Amino acid sequence: MSFEVDLLVRNASILTMDDDRPGARGLAVHHGRVLALYDDDSADGLRGRAEIDAQGAVLVPGFGDAHNHMAGFGLGLDTVDLSGLTDLATVYDRIAERASTLPEGAFVLGTGYDDTALGGHPDRYALDRAAGGRPVWLGHRSSHVCLVNSPMLAMLGLLDGTAVVPAGGVVVTDADGRPTGLLEEQAQQLAAEVLRPVPVDMLAGALGKASRVYAADGLTHVTECGIGAGWIGHSPLELAAYQRIADAGELLTRVALMPSMDSLHPLAGGPEDPQRFGLDLGLRTGFGDDRVRIGPVKIFMDGSLSARTAAMHEEFCDRGSHGYLQDDPELLRAHVVDAHAAGWRIAAHAIGDRAIDLILDSFEEARRSHPRPDARPRIEHAAVTSEEQVARMAALGVTPVPQARFLYEIGDSMAAAVGPKRVDRLYRHASFLRAGLRVPGSSDRPVAAGAPLLGIQSMVQRVSSGGLVIGPDERVDALTALRAYTLDTAWIAGEERSRGSLTPGKLADFVLLGDDITTIPADRIGTTEVVATFLGGTCVHGPREW
Ligand SMILES: [Zn+2]
């Protein structure tokens, strides 16, 4: 007797990430899910409507990214790319080049500039000249500050003093009190008001482009960290853009969407309903399907290390400041407690150790006032943590979501910011594991490169682009890093029963790699070929015939 399945993959070297069955040679897929694994090429008499000879390639579960900005990355593909530039003259040339293709008065948008590499932020007046009087907006690589030129400052009411600067933000001025064009943190909302909402059509187009890149990177699931309102959101209709491309069959990656805390509002429920704070209709974490789902709510406690706006207990070593919180601490705490009470899972951006203390206090209070066994609270980045904070996170069951790739891309700048006394506290990994915590893999793309294999390499090496090894005791082996990008990203999304390992019954999301990343030298992991990516048993990247 033989049974026909949708897809058979033979002759593969499978790392299932399932402890009950770590390896296999073949995989049967039916109706989008893993039906069976087998150890020899007989496949227990199964036949496949489609059959693939993997020719010995390594097959692993599809990669997840627990923290990325897919819309921002996709939209950024159409802006002037300023990443990697090391002199300001080239920035002005690139802006002039783009401006010359645009009508008068059109916005000139650039992304990814790095003031550390450039030796300073671009000059507002030089941008005026380069853009021929057009308004210019440049996004810093951290996303936590942006730079605008004079026409845009005028538009925002920052030259005539009519603008109201939001709390938790700074409009940077020079010695004479004139705006330099630099808008920090919540002050970016001023620019967002003229640049947004981004039309849903444009968002959907950007997401489609991003999705193709993601499939080529082996990503089958990502969490989008901040949609809707606030400086991080692109439109109050942002979720509609994801639904649109999913319906059109152009979403090649499963997504969980985190509404920003600013998107939540009081709801008119009955007096006994706990859902008093949320999205219309009471939608919250978990709603949706296996393509597009509502994830946790995202709240910003502080800023970033690269922009020196993170809230620290002690001053930055190269700047006479402690950074700052994004709002009044009482208000931030109240938002966390209210959203938790309404049934939301909470993802709190906290980088500096002072911000981390505040969010741990808030999580502790939320848990005490409204006990919920499976709330899975998380700290995005958890960048600078003391031993005591690691222990407290473990005691409260708070998952850190750090970005190992930052160590390579901005490690030298972060090390300078915190100095030698605190450098080993940066973006820990092994310490979190030793404390019994999980560490899901993530990139914060487009803040850092988003390919999971690069992230895995950085988890293993922890080396900066300048050659500094940051926190050598925090390194992990490649199999542990692979677990972070598969099982643990599924777990933090609350989807460990349907994804994260190649186990019969789970979604058939998997990747074929050109090499075994758990055995090759670490410096080759990031450049390993992603031969093919399958989502629900369908090839979304790879050879045409598959
Ligand atoms: Zn982010």
Please give the average per-residue pLDDT across 58-75, as a whole number.
97
In this predicted model, what pLDDT tens digit does every residue of 267-301 receive, in sequence order?
988 888 877 899 999 999 999 999 999 999 999 99
Q: Is residue 218 a contact partner of residue 59, using CB atoms and an 8 Å limit? A: no
Read off the pLDDT band of 347 (50, 70, 90).
very high
More confident residue, 366 or 161: 366
Angle between helices 353-369 and 387-396 (to 10 degrees): 20
469 has which bridge partners? Answer: 463
In this predicted model, what pLDDT tens digit does every residue of 142-192 receive, in sequence order?
888 999 999 999 999 999 989 999 988 999 999 999 999 999 999 999 998
535 has which bridge partners? Answer: 538
In this predicted structure, what is the pLDDT of residue 43? 72
Percent of the chain with pLDDT over 70: 99
How many CB atoms within 10 Å of residue 12?
Answer: 21
The candidate with the shortest Cα–Cα distance to 317, out of 226, 238, 225, 423, is: 423
Say if residue 59's pLDDT is above 80. yes
Give the Å distance between the CA of 92 and the centre of ligand 1.
Answer: 27
CA distance 471 to 434: 15
Give the Å distance between the CA of 67 and the centre of ligand 1.
Answer: 6
Give the Å distance between the CA of 72 and the centre of ligand 1.
Answer: 10
Give the Å distance between the CA of 40 and the centre of ligand 1.
Answer: 44
Give the Å distance between the CA of 300 and the centre of ligand 1.
Answer: 10
Helices (H), 170-298: 188-195, 200-216, 238-247
Give the Å distance between the CA of 22 and the centre of ligand 1.
Answer: 33
Mean predicted lDDT score pLDDT of the chain: 95
In this predicted model, what pLDDT tens digit does every residue of 94-144 receive, in sequence order?
999 999 999 999 999 999 999 989 999 999 999 999 999 999 999 998 888
Give the Å distance between the CA of 50 and the centre of ligand 1.
Answer: 39
At 136, list the tokens.
């210019």
Give the Å distance between the CA of 223 and the centre of ligand 1.
Answer: 10
Give the Å distance between the CA of 115 and the centre of ligand 1.
Answer: 19
Please give the average per-residue pLDDT across 202-209, as a whole number.
96
- Provide CB contacts within 8 A for 265, sequence distance 6+: 277, 278, 279
Give the Å distance between the CA of 144 and the centre of ligand 1.
Answer: 9
CA distance 219 to 134: 38
- Provide CB contacts within 8 A for 404, sequence distance 6+: 427, 429, 441, 455, 458, 459, 462, 481
Q: Is residue 19 a contact partner of residue 62, using CB atoms and an 8 Å limit? A: no
Q: Is residue 510 a contact partner of residue 540, using CB atoms and an 8 Å limit? A: no
In this predicted structure, what is the pLDDT of residue 475? 98
Give the Å distance between the CA of 354 and the centre of ligand 1.
Answer: 19
In this predicted structure, what is the pLDDT of residue 139? 94
Give the Å distance between the CA of 449 and the centre of ligand 1.
Answer: 12
CA distance 99 to 106: 8
Give the SS3 label for residue 278.
strand
Give the Å distance between the CA of 340 and the centre of ligand 1.
Answer: 21
Please give the average per-residue pLDDT across 472-495, as a whole number.
98
Say if residue 383's pLDDT is above 60. yes
Give the Å distance between the CA of 68 and the centre of ligand 1.
Answer: 6
In this predicted model, what pLDDT tens digit does every residue of 408-447 receive, in sequence order?
999 999 999 999 999 999 999 999 999 999 999 999 999 9
In this predicted structure, what is the pLDDT of residue 1? 55
Helices (H), 61-123: 70-76, 88-99, 115-118
Residue 182 per-residue DSSP state: E
Q: Is residue 18 a contact partner of residue 503, using CB atoms and an 8 Å limit? A: yes
At 147, list the tokens.
């730079």
In this predicted structure, what is the pLDDT of residue 456? 98
Say if residue 34's pLDDT is above 60. yes
Angle between helices 200-216 and 238-247 (to 10 degrees): 60
Give the Å distance between the CA of 225 and the centre of ligand 1.
Answer: 6
Give the Å distance between the CA of 27 and the centre of ligand 1.
Answer: 35
How many CB atoms within 10 Å of residue 103?
Answer: 6
Give the Å distance between the CA of 316 and the centre of ligand 1.
Answer: 21
